[in-house]
Amino acid sequence: MNKGSTSKSLDNLKWLLAMLAFAAAVVGNSYFVEVAFLYRVLGVMLLFVIGLFLISLTSFGSNSLKLMKESRTEIRKVVWPTRIETTQTFMIVFGAIVILCLFFWGLESLLSFLTGLALG
């Protein structure tokens, strides 16, 4: 048995355990209705954290965490528009929408008038 198939089998086992934790959270929440709501919420949160932790230990999960960290780094590099730039862009888009609405309203009115003439 080679190392690749062993790690794949181990990843599958982690995924199965994570899915079982998620299922236990859902089923347990509906099964223990008589238990106080706070305790059920805490139990569901705990099981979901356990499931997410197990997923993070898989190769897919570690790659996903790496991607999220890189995304945060890239977001910090973005130059966001100022309030004035945002307002100006909004006004341009809003004006264009108003002009197009008036154009299509006029076109629809003209076509309705011409259809009324044609049909008598």
- pLDDT tens-digit map of 17-56: 999 999 999 999 888 889 899 999 999 999 999 999 999 9
Query: Could you tell me if 13 and 45 lie in one domain?
Result: yes
- Residue 59's domain comprises 1-78
Q: Are 1 and 41 in contact (CB under 8 A)?
A: no
Q: Are 17 and 47 in contact (CB under 8 A)?
A: no
> Structural domain tally of the chain?
2
Query: Could you tell me if 94 and 49 lie in one domain?
Result: no
pTM of the model: 0.56
Query: Could you tell me if 19 and 60 lie in one domain?
Result: yes
Comparing CA positions, the residue from 18, 112, 115 lying closest to residue 58 is 18
Quick one: pLDDT at residue 6?
75
Query: Could you tell me if 17 and 61 lie in one domain?
Result: yes
pLDDT at 2 over 80: no
Quick one: pLDDT at residue 1?
52
Quick one: pLDDT at residue 92?
98
Residue indicated by tokens 């960290």: 69
Exposure pattern of 58-84 as b/e (b: 16+ CB <10 Å)? beebeeeeeeeeeeeeeeeeeeeeeee
Query: Could you tell me if 99 and 118 lie in one domain?
Result: yes
Euclidean distance between CA atoms 56 and 39, whole angstroms: 25
Query: Could you tell me if 110 and 53 lie in one domain?
Result: no
pLDDT at 4 over 80: no
